[in-house]
Structure 1
Amino acid sequence: MTSPTSALDAPLLILDEVEATYNHAIVALRGVSLSVRRGEIRALLGANGAGKTTTLKAVSHLLPAERGQITRGHVRFDGEIVEQTSPADLVRRGLVQVLEGRHCFRSLTVEENLLTGALGRSSSRAEAQADLEKVYAFFPRLKEKRRASAGLTSGGEQQMTAIGRALMARPRLLVLDEPSMGLAPLVVESIFQTLKKLNENEGLTILVAEQNSTVALRYADGATVLENGRAVLEGPAAELRAREDIKAFYLGLGTPHREGLPAGSSRSAA
């Protein structure tokens, strides 16, 4: 029998040897395994086409909407098999994804966009208002722009709106796909600083897929690197950040030093 303590210590999210295809023909993931602990920021790193977005869509059970399917392995969120749960139910249970591309309802105001995030959980007007004020506390710029049409705000403000809308659903696991894409460095820093505050102050667990490994590794606790649909490396973010060989071969930074690579380095940096 599982004790309450061990249940709390169990990872909030587990991917167990997940393989995924599109149209039953194109293999996108090849036995990806990773776990995200409660209260952790986990970065999912890799080049464009490495499988990051497919992994996140497998986590949120969004693959079937794009003719994708998990063909082997399982994804478990808080002990439940994701593939057996609808995306809407996953949101209600606390798994909320912010898709790549800063998706907003462009004709709605910023505040109206945020309030749509509370619709799925049948919150009262008072609860929604309290959550709205909390979002404004983390993103003061959104309060300034709350009456503006989302489509007329900057890229950074649209990304903040998309994240704020997800926060209105009261996530336990926030899943973000390339939040830095197309944004100025100062805006990216601001967004990641806010994510870190949410993690530290609210205990929010975060899984973030990023091509910008430099910024992701500064704010994450741990990281998993994907290459050609495989998880080729994982370890503490601080260790990955410090290893010149890893930065060169897996993150595209610096000059490779082949003698520094561990023999058969394909799984863990620990």
Structure 2
Amino acid sequence: MGHNEVLLSVNGVKAIYNHAITALHGVSFTVARGEVVALLGANGAGKTTTLKAVSNLLPAERGAVTEGSILFEDLDVTTARPADLVRSGLVQVLEGRHCFRSLTVEENLVTGGLGRSGKRAEIAADLEKVYAHFPRLKEKRHALSGLTSGGEQQMTAIGRALMSRPRLLVLDEPSMGLAPIVVQDIFRTLRRLNREEGLSILVAEQNSTVALKYADRATILENGVAVLSGDAVELRNRDDVKAFYLGQTPSPAVPNTPILPAIAV
């Protein structure tokens, strides 16, 4: 599969909040069609802000892109309505497993199909596809989302995004607060979606170990700047990268996930 066709292009993006606080000082990276790209960095490095810029969600939070450009194919993201971006295939799964807690798992999934006004037969077919990728959701389809586990809620949020038929799936910290075995399971499924259906994926992760295992390429952010980009395998093998940018001491005994999730910037 040729990774030469650029799907998303982020160029020299600067962003501020409340007209004053600079969150991004110059972030550039691309996602090619059929590629899995990870955005890595410590808490507060600017990962969430970058993803919100990519989905044009910053204005809703009194933020703004002040410089640079973001293109999804030929679409200027900074002037597009978020709903139009979703319709054109750029679909984001926000941090924190957003589910409608009082709806069942299946009702949650169906809302993703309604967003693009899918026909009933299409929605039914898409549901079966999601259940094939996440058999756990099929078992729980009649359970209220609010009563399912954190991992199941994250799968529901991803499943709902898949029901919108994305061409680029954007995920913010899918591993946050989840057990390592569940995280592996979710990333394995994302990789399968990428391989089998050509789904392009942009994922922001603090858990660099798992992200670098499943991504093709990665960009590391530090204090709102993209400091390093490269092949995931290369970055995975560089001790200096692990020590300086990913806050890992070379000893594998240090956990890479903070105990309490801080507020994401």
Cα deviation 1:108-134 (Å, max 9, x = unaligned): 000000000011211110000000000
Question: Match of 1:137, SS?
Answer: helix
Please say if 1:210 is aligned against 2:205.
yes
Cα deviation 1:11-63 (Å, max 9, x = unaligned): 10001100000011000000111101110000000000000000000000000
Note the 1:162-181 alignment, pairs <5 A: 162-181=157-176
Question: Match of 1:117, SS?
Answer: helix
Give the partner amino acid of 1:25.
Answer: A
CA distance, structure 2, for counterparts of residue 182 and residue 246 of structure 1: 24
Cα distance, 1:10 vs structure 2: 3.0
Cα distance, 1:255 vs structure 2: 4.2
Note the 1:257-268 alignment, pairs <5 A: none
1:13 aligned to which of 8, 23, 34: 8
Cα distance, 1:252 vs structure 2: 1.4
Give the partner amino acid of 2:44.
Answer: G
Please say if 1:192 is aligned against 2:154.
no
2:222 aligned to which of 224, 227, 237: 227
115-124 or 220-229, larger mean C-alpha shift: 115-124
Q: Which residue of 1 is the match for residue 152 of structure 2?
A: 157
Cα deviation 1:130-164 (Å, max 9, x = unaligned): 00000000000000000000000000000000000
Percent identical pairs in the alignment equals 73
Please say if 1:42 is aligned against 2:42.
no
Q: Which of structures 1 and 2 has the bigger CA Rg?
A: 1
Please say if 1:104 is aligned against 2:115.
no
Q: Which residue of 1 is the match for residue 256 of structure 2?
A: none
5+ long unaligned stretches in structure 2: 252-265
5+ long unaligned stretches in structure 1: 1-5, 257-270
Give the partner amino acid of 1:49.
Answer: G
58-67 or 114-123, larger mean C-alpha shift: 114-123
Give the partner amino acid of 1:219.
Answer: Y
Q: Which residue of 1 is the match for residue 81 of structure 2?
A: 86
Give the partner amino acid of 1:78.
Answer: E
Q: Which residue of 2 is the match for residue 123 of structure 1?
A: 118
Write out the 4+ residue segments of structure 1 that deviate beyond 3 Å after TM superposition.
none
- How large is the Cα RMSD of the aligned pairs? 1.3
Query: TM-score normalized by structure 2?
Result: 0.93
Note the 1:23-34 alignment, pairs <5 A: 23-34=18-29
The higher-RCO structure (CA 8 Å, 6+ apart) is 2
Q: Which residue of 2 is the match for residue 238 of structure 1?
A: 233
